[in-house]
Amino acid sequence: MARHVPTYHLYGENSGKEPDFWLHCETIKSRSSLHRWEIRLHRHESFFQILYVEAGSGDATLDSKVHPLDPPVVVTIPPGVDHGFRFSRDIEGLVITILTSHLGHSSSERSRFGDWLAAARVTRLDPQNDEAAFAILTLRRLGEEFEHRRSGRNELLAAYVTQALRLTARISHEGDTSQLPAEGGERRMEVLSGLIQQHFRAHKPASFYAAELGMSLTHLNRITRAMTGHTVHDLLCAKLIEEAKRELLFSIASAGEIGLRLGFADPAYFSRFFLKESGLTPRAWRMKERMRLDMATGGSGVMKAVDVRRSTDDFQRNF
């Protein structure tokens, strides 16, 4: 008979109710010491986990394979993967649990990073390597930021998660020569992403990005379709919508003001663009998402972030 593997939000806690967090962070010691330093096999349906082991020792069971944990090491676990741990009593580190919808990057997205997120990984961090040292610092800062409720907390936590995962993925890829791309598509996508980040508010056409990369738009679209399933134009629209949603959720600015910040001279055009891309007007989307997150966090989540942003905006206006 197959053994039943329980599903949790946080290990040992009931997952039958809606989670009251989008990100949770605690020390490995605080959770494992309650269970005699052993976290038995379990899974998460809607959560992605990052386990950062800084000191001590142990092993991780990912599905049916056991991996020794030689610190400093990062274990990344997508939803649906059976996993468990055994730790020494001197274990030091963090376990970070993130609602998958808040990762900012779908684990099913057709890209090298999406493929990396979609499988459980054990990545050792060499402190002598600059990027590994930066990843360690980022994870420590994430733990400190979670513990202290200061202004801008949600935005910084999201940034730290993205940075830690991107750095760990890069280190993981560098250590696995079988995952190196056969052609330069990955490198070109990295350059394209940087160009989009730099110019998306200027609403440059797709042909501009092709020219910057020294190729035809047809060739560039062929690369982006192969890597992401989308055209350059699709990626530009997605970036504008991503930034618009971030502003709508975590600022008190009006939809018109947000549209201006994103390069839309006509508020009505911004509203039509947002409706076409997301299925809702900016105002309707903001109300729906704030209500959903407020209910999920018992009134302590997004509204606190909005209050913080309001205080920051007021201070900047009065300074």
Position 101 scores a pLDDT of: 79
Indicate the average pLDDT of the chain: 83
Do residues 138 and 145 make contact, with C-beta atoms less than 8 angstroms apart? no
The type of residue at 142 is L
**pLDDT tens per residue across span 170-194:** 888 766 534 434 446 788 888 999 9
Position 186 scores a pLDDT of: 80
Position 19 scores a pLDDT of: 54
Position 198 scores a pLDDT of: 93
Contacts of 181 (CB under 8 A, 6+ apart): 112, 187
**pLDDT tens per residue across span 100-115:** 878 765 444 456 788 8
Position 5 scores a pLDDT of: 62
Domains (range + CATH), the chain:
23-179 (2.60.120.280), 185-318 (1.10.10.60)
Position 15 scores a pLDDT of: 52
Omega before 205 within 30 of 0, i.e. cis: no
Interatomic CA distance for residues 127 and 129, integer angstroms: 5
Ordered DSSP codes for the chain: -PPP--B-SSTTS--SS--S-SEEEEEHHHHHGGGTTEEEEEB-SSEEEEEEEEES-EEEEETTEEEEE-SSEEEEE-TT--EEEEE-TT-EEEEEEEEGGGSSS-TTSSSHHHHHHTS-EEEE--TTSHHHHHHHHHHHHHHHHHHS--TTHHHHHHHHHHHHHHHHHHHHHHT-GGGS-SSSHHHHHHHHHHHHHHHGGGT--HHHHHHHTTS-HHHHHHHHHHHHSS-HHHHHHHHHHHHHHHHHHH----HHHHHHHTT-S-HHHHHHHHHHHHSS-HHHHHHHHHHHHHHHTTTSSHHHHHHHHHHHHHHHHH-
The ranges of the chain with pLDDT < 70 are: 1-20, 104-111, 174-184, 296-319
